[in-house]
Amino acid sequence: MKRIWAVKGFLAALAIGSATAACAGHGHPPQGSVELGPRPYYLLTDMDAGPVKRALEECASQRRPQQPSDFSIGHRGAPLQFPEHTEESYRAAARMGAGILECDVAFTRDRELVCRHSQCDLHTTTNILETDLASQCSEPFTPYDGSNPASARCCTSDITLTQFKTLKGKMDGANPRATTVEEYLQGTPGFRTDLYSQRGTLLSHKESIALFQELGVKMTPELKSPAVAMPYQGDYSQQDYARQLIDEYRDARVPPSQVFPQSFNLQDVRYWIDYQAPYGRQAVYLDGRDAEGLDPQNPGTWQPDMATLAGYGVNIIAPPLWMLVTTDSDNHIVPSPYARAARDAGLDIIAWSLERSGPLASGGGWYYQSVTPAIDNDGDTFILLDVLARQVGVIGVFSDWPATTTFYANCLKRYREHGHARD
């Protein structure tokens, strides 16, 4: 019985739906107005011949209006080209049909919640170092000296919310060989762009909620690990922090079915499940245990195991996408033992993050490490996505460019209904 609400709340596995009629008129693109741009079709053209390409080409040839989809989750918005966690990035993601948007949550010196990937990333994601607030950073800018890389450390907890709101978001990155602040801020990876970095409007968590309500999307806030000792300032504990996140959705009257709180800290997830119902029922356990020795091929390294997680009340698990797939003897991408075990335990799965770590033509980077032998062009993005959707059975995929996942979701839904897209 505990599965019923999860199926209704997040989306039954692979039953990828469009936005409801209520979304129209509330800022979200109404049905038929999603704008994908050229990238999905560029990836489609780049694919090797095969059944998935044929199915997607046939779908594309119909030229039917695209619809928003909960399968398409905007990872920090649309940070492949827009500064992450900014209003501009979120609006771009919604325009590309993302049905769910993410605000990573950190706290300021005056204990206000803001959208930042890390409590201490202001030096790489904003212009703080070229403002007067640089003097308040935990560690000042130190230039490259020929041996040691340039560095700085600026945290949301170094400044107040009012001060935070004076900053401008930029593309995440830093130049380790910089000898000046100006050079340090010029570190955008080559596969991204600074074309849309002139405006990067930062948001508090409350402002993100209001924006997402306007856009008509669901919300997946991530409670970030604090970079300072807790309790902070003597009386602000980890549970206070986790409760504050949920309270801001209650205060904004956001229905629990629209919110999917997430954390890498299993204790946060269990706290929400046990003490913050009904919001906690849709808590997502972000599985980053590979850093602690978890091997997706070896169940003996999964502590706690899938059955134990389900026993805790966890209903949704979200590992990096590489943990969900592996290759067979013919170098085909297939589900990993980890993925099969999660499904066998009754856990819903979401994956992160597509188009996050560079072109697949050059290996794809960290997010694709388990399937490197099977990828050699950017079009393989859709092959991987197809395996995640139809074989692993993920209910959603975080993406740095939601148009890709939106296009696939629309085609997958249509072709499943008509019996197409079979291997």
Angular region, 222: left φ>0, alpha ψ -120 to 50, beta rest: beta
Rounded average pLDDT over 168-192: 97
Stronger pLDDT, 168 or 199, i.e. the higher one: 168
Q: Are 10 and 260 in contact (CB under 8 A)?
A: yes
- Transcribe 161-210 into DSSP letters: HHHHTTSBB--S---TT-SSHHHHT----TTS-STT-S--BB-BHHHHHH
Rounded average pLDDT over 296-318: 97
User: What is the overall mean pLDDT for the chain?
Assistant: 91
Q: How far is CA 350 from the centre of its chain?
A: 10
**In the structure encoding, which two tokens stand for residue 283, read together?**
């808590």
Distances (CA, A) of 370 to 197, 320, 380, 394: 33, 11, 14, 17
Rounded average pLDDT over 307-320: 98
Confidence class of residue 203 from pLDDT cuts 50, 70 and 90? very high
Domains of the chain (ranges plus CATH)? 2-119+193-417 (3.20.20.190)
pTM for the model stands at: 0.91
Amino acid present at 384: L
Confidence class of residue 416 from pLDDT cuts 50, 70 and 90? low
User: Is the omega angle on the peptide bond into residue 30 within 30 degrees of 0, that is, cis?
Assistant: no
Share of the chain above pLDDT 90, in %: 87
Q: What are phi and psi of 361, to 5 degrees?
A: -60, -25
Q: Are 85 and 76 in contact (CB under 8 A)?
A: yes
Sign of CA dihedral 321, 262, 411, 13: positive
Amino acid present at 50: G
**In the structure encoding, which two tokens stand for residue 238, read together?**
């980890």
Rounded average pLDDT over 53-78: 95
How crowded is the C-beta side of 265, counted as CA atoms within 13 Å? Answer: 13
Sign of CA dihedral 408, 105, 360, 335: negative
Strands 69-74 and 396-399: parallel
pLDDT tens string 245-294: 999 999 999 999 999 999 999 999 999 999 999 999 999 999 999 999 99
Find, among 354, 264, 250, the residue nearest to 314 by Cα.
Answer: 264
Confidence class of residue 193 from pLDDT cuts 50, 70 and 90? very high
Q: How far is CA 178 from the centre of its chain?
A: 30
